[in-house]
Chains A and B, each alone.
Chain A
Amino acid sequence: MMLSVENIDVFYGAIHAIKGISFDVNEGEIVALIGANGAGKSTTLKTISGIMHPRNGKITFLGEDITHTDGYKLPAKGLAQVPEGRRIFLQMTVMENLEMGAFVQKKPTEEDFENVFTHFPRLKERRSQIAGTLSGGEQQMLAMGRALMSHPKLLMLDEPSMGLAPILVEEIFNIIREFHAAGTTILLVEQNAEMALQVADRAYVLESGVIALSGTGKELAESDAIKKAYLGG
């Protein structure tokens, strides 16, 4: 098992945002975490990547207990996250952003950059541009490319389709498939349940900090409860 989350409780002060959830991600899978606004999806990802720490429970990554590991030590272990809202470095160039993605390596190689540019040719044209001047879609590509630079074993994506036009959403999901085909395990957080359930091997539905449902992507896409709540029918 690549990632296992056991019974974690996460708080913001007095707010109990995650209430004892457990799930796991196996090597080579695409696992989706779906749910409404405020369900606790981002909080879950932030807790796995060490931005926050759970009050109870345990998180294991590649056999190692990382529950209380400092977040900055995790990328070197093979964990990368594309955070909600992209959070690229707006004042740096595209190239510098990619370099930061490879921070845990000694020095990024030409191949590392080329690898990103094969997935995102548009970034290559804009390599010297200041990231803050990129369009929203390009910024999302940069955020994903930046995460790819560290060659993660597990890539966590927080709403990569947020705010993008349908055609770009399609493109982003195709790229997620490419990442996966290249051997990266993926944990995907999405509000766009339809798209997420299409690509996911398995999915968990989060509701107010608890896991309400789980199953294969196909099962969930066909379940009546999901159709009603998330797929508009």
Chain B
Amino acid sequence: MMGILSNLISGISLGSIYAIIALGYTMVYGIAKMLNFAHGDVIMVGAYICYCAISYLGLPPLVGIVMAICVCTVLGIVIEGLAYKPLRSAPSLAVLITAIGVSYFLQNSALLIWKSDPKVFPSIVKSMQPVQLFGGQLAISGITIVTVLCCVVVMTCLTLFISKSKTGKAMRAVSEDKVAAQLMGINVNGTISVTFAIGSGLAAVAGVLLCSAYPTLIPTTGAMPGIKAFTAAVFGGIGSIPGAMLGGILLGIIELFAKSYISTQFSDAIVFAVLIIVLLIKPTGLLGKKVSEKV
């Protein structure tokens, strides 16, 4: 019983990281109608920046996180401006190949700068003791609590931002109809940049959380979580923000249970099998529908 509960909590925690990454995929897809396959590698860059700030510069973790967010936000804007903006009216296959190219570019750059040896990511919640429940039968680590809290905060802020703020409404307008949005006086290119900035800033947060939970950092660290989060976004219904959240958390739980009760080696295959089944039954994903809130 405690085992199930413990796995569930770990699953929600891992899923929260997937969810934060999936938000970036889904927002960019909603607004630019493209799959930004370099998104996973932005996570890795964020983790390295935070690592450098803490381990090389001796800065406090919070400063490291803020630096990672800033660098990734700028990186997102630069990637969009240099690689994707010139292809705005190009066929989607060309954009997809470019995204894969950007992904390799980021990984290779990281290899040059930080080399291939794994870095041991420092804990960002050193001072926090695990919470003991049921007389010590169940321990929840500090990073688990921080991760889930982060996810809740991100989700709440983002939902409010999209539904209430002027920029958020502009994002919805652009995602629905770029020409009409422009006729309203909305700067479409600027709005797309803002979307990349937000998605990449969130990727930095996810990168730090991911490496705090699984503290080995190499240049390909972002690749697999990136693919999983992309899966989560599709699972939940690509373009839908609540869908990304739900998809991410479910994916994390399924992965953890598959690892614990079926097979560690096969867990990823099981995750993708579940995705395929869901898509066969509901091709738009769990929360994806024609008239859903898209960004």
Interface residues of A (CB under 8 A from B): 49-51, 70-76, 80-81, 83, 87-92, 96, 99-101, 103-104, 130, 132, 146, 150
Residue contact A130 to B291, C-beta cutoff 8 Å: yes
Residue contact B180 to A80, C-beta cutoff 8 Å: no
A91-B291, A92-B172 known; A83-B179 Cβ under 8 A = yes
Q: Which residues of A contact B186 (CB under 8 A)?
A: 72, 100, 103
Residue contact B183 to A92, C-beta cutoff 8 Å: no
Option from A87, A89, A91, A104 in Cβ contact (under 8 Å) with B185: A104
Against A, the Cβ 8 Å flags (1 = close, 0 = not) of B161-192 are: 00000100110110011011111111110000
Option from B169, B172, B187, B293 in Cβ contact (under 8 Å) with A72: B187
Q: Which residues of A contact B173 (CB under 8 A)?
A: 89, 92, 100, 103
Option from A50, A76, A89, A104 in Cβ contact (under 8 Å) with B180: A89
A96-B169, A99-B169, A103-B170 known; A89-B176 Cβ under 8 A = yes
Q: Which residues of A contact B181 (CB under 8 A)?
A: 100
A128 to chain B, nearest CB (A): 14
Q: How far is the CA of A130 from the CA of B177 in the complex (A)?
A: 16
A87-B177, A89-B177, A130-B291 known; A100-B182 Cβ under 8 A = no
Q: How far is the CA of A75 from the CA of B173 in the complex (A)?
A: 16
Is residue B294 within 8 Å, beta carbon to beta carbon, of the partner chain? yes
Q: How far is the CA of A91 from the CA of B240 in the complex (A)?
A: 13
B113 to chain A, nearest CB (A): 37
24 cross-chain CB contacts under 8 A: A51-B179, A51-B183, A71-B182, A72-B182, A72-B185, A72-B186, A75-B185, A80-B183, A81-B183, A83-B183, A87-B177, A88-B180, A89-B176, A91-B292, A91-B293, A96-B169, A99-B169, A100-B173, A101-B184, A103-B170, A103-B173, A104-B184, A132-B291, A150-B184
Q: Which has the most chain A C-beta neighbours within 10 Å: B169, B188, B293?
A: B169
Residue contact A76 to B185, C-beta cutoff 8 Å: yes
Q: Which residues of B contact A73 (CB under 8 A)?
A: 185
Residue contact B180 to A103, C-beta cutoff 8 Å: no
Q: How large is the interface on B (under 10, 10 to 19, 20 to 34, 35 or more residues)?
A: 20 to 34
Residue contact B184 to A103, C-beta cutoff 8 Å: yes
Q: How far is the CA of A73 from the CA of B184 in the complex (A)?
A: 9
Q: Which residues of B contact A51 (CB under 8 A)?
A: 179, 182-183
Interface residues of B (CB under 8 A from A): 166, 169-170, 172-173, 176-177, 179-188, 291-294
Q: Which residues of A contact B291 (CB under 8 A)?
A: 90-91, 130, 132
Q: Which residues of A contact B184 (CB under 8 A)?
A: 75, 100-101, 103-104, 146, 150
Q: Which residues of B contact A76 (CB under 8 A)?
A: 185
Residue contact B183 to A71, C-beta cutoff 8 Å: yes
Residue contact A90 to B176, C-beta cutoff 8 Å: yes
A50: nearest residue on chain B (CB-CB)? B182
A12 to chain B, nearest CB (A): 12
A92: nearest residue on chain B (CB-CB)? B172
Q: Which residues of B contact A100 (CB under 8 A)?
A: 169-170, 173, 181, 184, 186
Q: Which residues of A contact B182 (CB under 8 A)?
A: 50-51, 71-72
Residue contact B187 to A91, C-beta cutoff 8 Å: no
Q: How far is the CA of A150 from the CA of B293 in the complex (A)?
A: 25
Given contacts A92-B169, A92-B176, 15 further A-B contacts (CB under 8 A): A50-B182, A51-B183, A72-B188, A76-B185, A87-B180, A91-B172, A92-B172, A100-B170, A100-B184, A100-B186, A103-B166, A103-B170, A103-B184, A104-B184, A150-B185
Q: Which has the most chain A C-beta neighbours within 10 Å: B180, B181, B183?
A: B183
B117 to chain A, nearest CB (A): 48
Residue contact A91 to B183, C-beta cutoff 8 Å: no
A82: nearest residue on chain B (CB-CB)? B183
Q: How far is the CA of A178 from the CA of B177 in the complex (A)?
A: 29
Q: Which residues of A contact B293 (CB under 8 A)?
A: 91
Option from B176, B180, B292 in Cβ contact (under 8 Å) with A83: B180
Q: Which residues of A contact B170 (CB under 8 A)?
A: 100, 103
Q: How far is the CA of A101 from the CA of B188 in the complex (A)?
A: 15
Q: Which residues of A contact B185 (CB under 8 A)?
A: 72-76, 103-104, 150
Q: How far is the CA of A51 from the CA of B172 in the complex (A)?
A: 19
Residue contact B176 to A49, C-beta cutoff 8 Å: no
A75: nearest residue on chain B (CB-CB)? B185
Q: How far is the CA of A83 from the CA of B294 in the complex (A)?
A: 22
Q: Which residues of B contact A96 (CB under 8 A)?
A: 169
B176: nearest residue on chain A (CB-CB)? A89
